[in-house]
Each structure stands twice: as structure tokens, then as C-alpha cells.
A and B are shown apart, each in its own frame.
Chain A
Amino acid sequence: MSATDAKAAPAEKSASASAAAKPAAGSSRLVKAGAELLLDALEEQGVEVIFGYPGGAVLPIYDALHRRTSIRHILVRHEQGALHMAEGYARSTGKPGVALVTSGPGATNAVTGLADALLDSIPVVCISGQVARKLIGTDAFQECDTVGITRACTKHNYLVPSAQRLPTIVHEAFHVAAEGRPGPVLIDIPKDVQFEEAPYVSKADAVLREAGVKAEIRASDVETAVDLMRRARRPVFYTGGGVINAGKGASDGLRALVRATGFPITSTLMGLGAYPASDPQWLGMLGMHGSYEANNAMHDCDLMICVGARFDDRVTGRLDAFSPASRKIHIDIDPSSVNKNVPVDIAIIGDAGEALRALLAEWESRASAEAPEEGRLDDWRARIEAWREVKSFAYARSSDAIKPQHAIERLYQLTRDRDVYVTTEVGQHQMWAAQHFHFDEPNRWMTSGGLGTMGYGLPAAIGVQVAHPDALVVDIAGDGSVQMTMQEMSTAVQFGLPVKIFILNNSYLGMVRQWQELLHERRYAHSYSDALPDFVKLAEAYGGYGFRATHPDELDEKIIAMIDAPGPALFDCVVTAEENVFPMIPSGAAHHEMLLGGAVTGEEIGAEGRKLV
């Protein structure tokens, strides 16, 4: 049993020439300007919306866009917002998101969003303008080496050499963004190429390169995996964002397999929603702020089945003490994820949905022939129940101040009957949202997991709302993060996108403060924000709706008012200032060495006492 095949040098990646029936050459062929060719290609790729910001080097594209009604354009307030909107759109629909930015500062502002999409494997196509070809390299106005700068934060990027190459490059870019492990792709188009005329090349005629290694799921690996699964006494599923990227079919496959086997299941931050949180086999999220039962199950298991997750440091904790007694099966579409951080016993390289269905078919064919030993998981389930009893997400309740966890719980309860999508910023509020807001469906939870980008949530929510105009889209935010991309409120108002920004306001950069408390003896260096804006007035200044809650008694009615507000709304939820996110795997510790919150339930420890724990 080994993953040697995943290690083998990949075979030649072939070009997928899709029957390159060359159209008849001749002077009669219609030629168009590069800007028109770009839009033709975007239309053929099914693009309905572009998030963008105009500027000198993309003016021909905007001019062409002006004459079309087929593609909607959302004018952002900063290019970082355009990329996060494209990400939100992509994560909530499964289709690539598209951004359009100008050269120089437009492209450099897009870098954070590209890096974010790369680390979270989100399919995004970013089109940037570039100075005219003959000016490249002359330090021209608004020139920067965009392909050089973005090479490290894209899956692939292109500097378009001529209008003739443009349509094929656009088709290949969408293919690269979505195929295999998805990711961001940037197309840098010099301004003179946007004017240059050339014939269009349709998707069917374009000769594209493969974006990954084509891997067949081997029956022998599936059989061996099922052998291990049938013998396991302490199994656990560990799933990630890859299941969501693999589409609804993969989530369905996961649910069917988990239920057929009866194994417990946990998930990374990125994978929430692939398996319903309301199911009794669900252990909650794992990792640094994951549940006690999930992390202990990971540590003590004898078989770990990892699906579309990558053994990130926030998940594994200390590597040399990570799940020491388990065999590990890893299903991933990217062979470089296998054995990268943690060596595994069986690697299945391929699409998560296909792999899960193959495992289920094998599991069921065996089950009918010879039933697995009755009750072999009883002891394991009893241990998990004991861990559950610890109630690691519990917190000290308060009747005179709003606890951030309580605010999320109320938000969850009051939106349960809605078609709801949640985005977050990054920090304490993000972890509380992951712990206390529960998802039963994939593509409902948009968060910056890999890069940890403060300022992601508000624009991402706008992107989600564009894709789902009738849904309730809530950005669970912190008072620090939300100010990083706050200007996108203006975008939401301009385009009538009624996103709700629910700010857990503790006047601190809460996660920074928590780490300073735990690691730096409470020296709160520059983690307190004085002079915060009045978020209610700010919302009104933008033309949105503002709400504030400072007492638990008014929370519900204010949340309902926010939900009912007919436009974009900011909710300033003033919460206890020095709350910590628990449980927590401290730095350099292992899964079974979690810190639990000092207080458990009840009113016995108030807000003041809590600070002393």
C-alpha cells in the first residue's frame, strides 16, 4: 500500500485539441477588434457578470461593454473588492467569477484577491489592461510587470501577444481556472491589442492545454481503501473545500458514503456545508478552533479518510504528534497535496465525487456479500459521545451584555427558515460563525480560509448577492476587518444589492488581542481601535440602513429589522470586549492538547469574571 503512483512523474500532458476543424481561411473571414473578441469569448464561456473598475488601459474593453447588454458590469470601489466579489460569486455558484481591472495600480490592487483565490482554490478569471506593447518595459504611465507580480499568486497567467491569440487564451484561461484543482487565472491585455483586429476563434476550435494531470481512479486503491474501512474500529472522515469544489454531486456522494458506513465526520473551515451540520454523525469543524470531539477523534482514530482537504497547519497542529495511530486514505485531485505535510497510506487521485461514488459502490457490493462485524464501532461512538459531553463550544452566558457567540446563535436561529448565504471576514468573529452558525448545504459558506484576508466578507457577500438576488446574504464581520473594504457599501447601494453586514463590535482586533493575551502576557500592542466610526450613521451616509444592539434583550428585534430592511444594512452589534475563542489548540500542540474555555454554562461567571479565567 503506497502512494507511489501519485509520486511518479506525470505522463505527457496532452493538448486537448477538440476536433480542430479549421474554418476556411480567406479574406471573407470576419475580423473584430481585440476588445470585441474578448467579450465574444466571455459570452461563449457563459459569463453573465463582470466585477470591475475602469481605467486608461481597459477603456476599449469598457467601450465594447457599453454596447452590449449580454454581460452585466458591477462597478466596484477598489479592485480588491472586485476579486473578492468574483470569489463570492464563484463559491456560491460553482462557476468561475470574472474581474476586470486596469493596468498598474488596478492590477496591484487585485493581487490580494488573486492570492486569496489561489490558497482557497477558487476559480476566478481576472482580466487586466496593460500599456501598449511598444511601451512595455519603458516605465510608462500606469505600467507594472503584471504577469511578473501575479505569477506567484495565480494558477496561471498570460500576457496576450496579439489579438489573434486572444480568443484562444481566454478559452484556455477558463479551462485552467475550473479544471482540476481550481484557481485564479489572469489575462493581461496590452491596450493596442484591444484595438488590433483579428478573427474570432470559438471554444470548439481552440486548441487548449491540460490544466492538470489526468488521473484514473484505480479499482485496486478503492478495494484496498474499503478493506481498511471495513476493518476500522475507530474511523473518521476528514473532509475539506475540495468536496465543495467538486460540485453538488460530490456532497451527495459524501453524504451517501458517510451514512452507509456510519462513520463520524468532521470538516475543515473550507468544507462546512458539504455534510449537514444537523446530522448526528457530524462532529463539527476540526482544527485550531475546532470542536473537542472532532480533534480528539482525529487524534485517536485508527483510520482517517481525508477527502479534498490538505492537512493545513491550522488543522494538524503539531505534525509529529498528528493522529499517530491511524492509517490514512487521501482523496485529492491535486497529486502535490498528497504526502506534502503528512504521509498517507493510500492516495486516490481524482475528482472527489467520482472517488466517493466508487468507494460507495465497493462498500455496498461487499456489504451484501459479507456483513461487517456487528457493533465494531460501538466503543468508538461511546468515546465520541463522552467528548461531545464536554460541550467545547459552550460559553458563559450573560443577561446584561451581548456575548458574540450568543449573537451568532440568534442570527442563526432567526434566519433558519430563509434561503441564507453567509460570508465572513477574518478573526474571532469568523471562528464564532464557524462554530455557532450551522450549514446543511454546500456553497452557503464563503470565508477566507487559506490566506486569511481581512476585508474578504463584504465584497464576497456582494458577489453572492449578485448571483442570488433573492437570497438573504449576511456578512458576519468584525469591527476591524469590515473597515478594510467598507467602501464596497457604496457598490451595494448603487446596484441595489441588499447584503446584511453583521458586525461583532468589540473595539478590538479580537484575534490579535487573544493571542497577545495568551502568548504575550496581555500586552495589547496596537490591537485596540479607538475612534471607531458610528456604524449606524456610516450606513446611512452610504444610503443604506443602520442598526445597533447593545443589550441582549433588543438583539432579536433588531436582527429581524435588519433582515427585513429593503436594502444594504450595517448592524453594529456591540459585544463583550475581551471574549476569547475556545476551544483552542495552542501553538505547537497536538489535537488532544486542546485548551477549553474556562467557563462552561450558566450565569455564574459574568463578563468581568470571564476576563480573569
Chain B
Amino acid sequence: MSLNPSQSVYPVAGPAEEASECVLAIIVDNEPGALARVVGLFSARGYNIESLTVAETDVKRHRSRITIVTRGAQSTLEQIKLQLGRLIPVRRVVDVSAEEDALQRELALVKVVGEGDHRVEAMRMAEIFRARAVDITHSSFVFEVTGAREKVNAFIDLMRPLGLSDVARTGVLSIRRGIAKD
């Protein structure tokens, strides 16, 4: 009697597919527990959440827009969309990253503590990145920077040797270009 050496009842997993990133806009009824359902689905089924942003966007119809950045194999991403579609408060799931040039923006507040040359260099970098100094003391700045995630990442990396102290980020927001509605 030849048995699988793993002694597991579950089938042996196949080779992992290549993972890619996906930005989903999920339009939900703004009711108690709606966010918990979406987030619970991701954790219960073992999907990733790289960033999450949520706020009411249609006050009249009580609709919120949840933007989730996730990562997974193509088949997993398809499952995520279909599983989200099963939730009752979910009205629509839009794969924003499937659009060629959808707008993606993130806002970060970056606190840099330092003196002397570091301050000067930080200020110079901020100008190049069009980051605004929204709080200034003799030994610190808080910069507000917006842009695509890569730009925000680059700015934060550059601030690291110059006295990076704290970072707060919103996670990705996205919307389609042109007249097309999500």
C-alpha cells in the first residue's frame, strides 16, 4: 500500500504561480461591519493586503470606496474579485490596475529630525519631490508628499540618512482617467 509520504489528506500543492500586484476599488454600502467583511475575507482566505484606504465617497447613497492593494498569482487575484462579489454590501469591484493608466496617488507625512547640512539637504530633496514642509522647528521638519507609491517610497528612502524619524501614509487611492466612471 503506497501512501503519500506527507501523510496529509490534502493534495500536494502545485508549483507556485508568479505573483503580481493588483489595485482593487471596492464600492460598498456604508453600513456597520462592511469593512470587517472585506478585511475578514482577505484574512480568512489567506490573501495579502499591502495597503487599504477607506472613506465614504457618496453621502447620499451611503457608499464607501475601499481601495486595496493586494498581491497574488493571477488565479488568486481572480478569486479575490469573485469572492468579494459574493459579499452582500459589496456593490462593485473594479480592478483599477487592469486599466492602462489609472491614476494612483498616495499621501505621506514624513518627519525628519536633524541639524546642519542634513537639514539643508532634506529641504533641497523636498523641493525636488514637491513635498511641502507643513511643520517646522529648529531641529525638525514634517513633509507632506503626494504621488505614486514609488515616488513616496523614493522620498522616504532619501530621507533615511538625513534623520528620518516617523512616517504616516494613507495607502493608495486610485481613479480612472477620462470620462469613464468606476
Q: Which A residues lie at the B interface, using CB under 8 A?
A: 6-7, 9-13, 147-148, 151-152, 155-156, 159, 161, 176, 181, 209, 211-213, 313, 316-320, 334-336, 338-340, 343, 518-519, 586-589, 595
Say yes or no: A9 contacts B93, CB within 8 Å. Answer: yes
CB-CB < 8 A to B36: which residues of A?
148, 151
Say yes or no: B82 contacts A7, CB within 8 Å. Answer: yes
With known contacts A211-B88, A335-B82, A313–B11 Cβ distance under 8 A: yes
Residue of B nearest to A586 (CB): B3
Residue of B nearest to A157 (CB): B33
Q: Which B residues lie at the A interface, using CB under 8 A?
A: 1-4, 6-12, 14, 27, 29, 32-33, 36-37, 40, 44, 75, 78-79, 81-83, 85-95
Say yes or no: B14 contacts A586, CB within 8 Å. Answer: no
Q: How far is the CA of A335 from the CA of B84 in the complex (A)?
A: 11
Say yes or no: A147 contacts B12, CB within 8 Å. Answer: no
Q: How many A-B residue pairs have CB under 8 A?
A: 97
Say yes or no: A336 contacts B83, CB within 8 Å. Answer: yes
Q: How far is the CA of A94 from the CA of B12 in the complex (A)?
A: 37
Q: How far is the CA of A119 from the CA of B27 in the complex (A)?
A: 26
CB-CB < 8 A to B89: which residues of A?
209
Query: Smallest CB–CB gap between B33 and chain A, Å?
Result: 6
Q: How far is the CA of A336 from the CA of B87 in the complex (A)?
A: 11
Q: How far is the CA of A334 from the CA of B79 in the complex (A)?
A: 12
Say yes or no: A213 contacts B8, CB within 8 Å. Answer: no
Say yes or no: B93 contacts A10, CB within 8 Å. Answer: yes
Q: How far is the CA of A379 from the CA of B91 in the complex (A)?
A: 50
Q: How far is the CA of A336 from the CA of B29 in the complex (A)?
A: 21
Choice from B6, B10, B32, B78 contacting A7 with Cβ under 8 Å = B78
Say yes or no: A336 contacts B3, CB within 8 Å. Answer: no
Query: Smallest CB–CB gap between B36 and chain A, Å?
Result: 6
Say yes or no: B32 contacts A159, CB within 8 Å. Answer: yes
Query: Smallest CB–CB gap between B77 and chain A, Å?
Result: 9
Query: Smallest CB–CB gap between A196 and chain B, Å?
Result: 18
Say yes or no: A335 contacts B85, CB within 8 Å. Answer: yes
Can you list 26 A-B contacts (CB < 8 A)?
A9-B85, A9-B93, A12-B91, A147-B33, A148-B33, A151-B37, A152-B40, A155-B86, A155-B88, A159-B33, A161-B32, A176-B88, A209-B29, A209-B89, A213-B85, A313-B9, A318-B12, A319-B12, A320-B12, A336-B85, A336-B86, A586-B4, A587-B4, A587-B6, A587-B10, A588-B9
With known contacts A9-B93, A209-B88, A336–B4 Cβ distance under 8 A: no
Say yes or no: B95 contacts A518, CB within 8 Å. Answer: no
CB-CB < 8 A to A211: which residues of B?
88
Say yes or no: B78 contacts A588, CB within 8 Å. Answer: no
CB-CB < 8 A to A7: which residues of B?
78, 81-82
Residue of A nearest to B8 (CB): A587
CB-CB < 8 A to A334: which residues of B?
86
Known: A211-B88, A586-B1, A586-B4. 10 other contacts (CB 8 A): A7-B82, A12-B92, A151-B33, A335-B82, A336-B86, A587-B6, A587-B7, A588-B9, A589-B3, A595-B1
Say yes or no: A339 contacts B1, CB within 8 Å. Answer: no
CB-CB < 8 A to B94: which residues of A?
9
Q: How far is the CA of A210 from the CA of B82 in the complex (A)?
A: 15
CB-CB < 8 A to A343: which residues of B?
75
CB-CB < 8 A to B4: which residues of A?
586-589
CB-CB < 8 A to B75: which residues of A?
339, 343
CB-CB < 8 A to A316: which residues of B?
11
CB-CB < 8 A to A519: which residues of B?
3, 7
Query: Smallest CB–CB gap between A336 and chain B, Å?
Result: 4
Residue of A nearest to B94 (CB): A9
Say yes or no: B86 contacts A318, CB within 8 Å. Answer: no
Q: How far is the CA of A589 from the CA of B11 in the complex (A)?
A: 7
Query: Smallest CB–CB gap between A172 and chain B, Å?
Result: 8
Q: How far is the CA of A209 from the CA of B85 in the complex (A)?
A: 13
Residue of A nearest to B90 (CB): A13
Residue among A317, A336, A519 with the highest chain B CB neighbour number at 10 A: A336
Residue of B nearest to A3 (CB): B78
Residue among B2, B9, B88, B89 with the highest chain A CB neighbour number at 10 A: B88
Q: How far is the CA of A24 from the CA of B141 in the complex (A)?
A: 62
Say yes or no: B11 contacts A318, CB within 8 Å. Answer: yes
Query: Smallest CB–CB gap between B74 and chain A, Å?
Result: 10
Say yes or no: A336 contacts B79, CB within 8 Å. Answer: yes
Say yes or no: B3 contacts A313, CB within 8 Å. Answer: no
Q: How far is the CA of A338 from the CA of B93 in the complex (A)?
A: 17
Say yes or no: B32 contacts A588, CB within 8 Å. Answer: no
Q: How far is the CA of A339 from the CA of B75 in the complex (A)?
A: 8
Say yes or no: A319 contacts B14, CB within 8 Å. Answer: yes
Say yes or no: A587 contacts B85, CB within 8 Å. Answer: no
Q: How far is the CA of A595 from the CA of B2 in the complex (A)?
A: 9
CB-CB < 8 A to A181: which residues of B?
86
Q: How far is the CA of A13 from the CA of B63 in the complex (A)?
A: 13
Query: Smallest CB–CB gap between A143 and chain B, Å?
Result: 16
Query: Smallest CB–CB gap between A514 and chain B, Å?
Result: 12
Query: Smallest CB–CB gap between B91 and chain A, Å?
Result: 6
Q: How far is the CA of A588 from the CA of B2 in the complex (A)?
A: 11
Query: Smallest CB–CB gap between B132 and chain A, Å?
Result: 36
Q: How far is the CA of A320 from the CA of B11 in the complex (A)?
A: 8
Say yes or no: A10 contacts B44, CB within 8 Å. Answer: no
Q: How far is the CA of A335 from the CA of B7 in the complex (A)?
A: 32
CB-CB < 8 A to B95: which residues of A?
9
Say yes or no: A588 contacts B44, CB within 8 Å. Answer: no
Query: Smallest CB–CB gap between A147 and chain B, Å?
Result: 6
Query: Smallest CB–CB gap between A508 and chain B, Å?
Result: 19
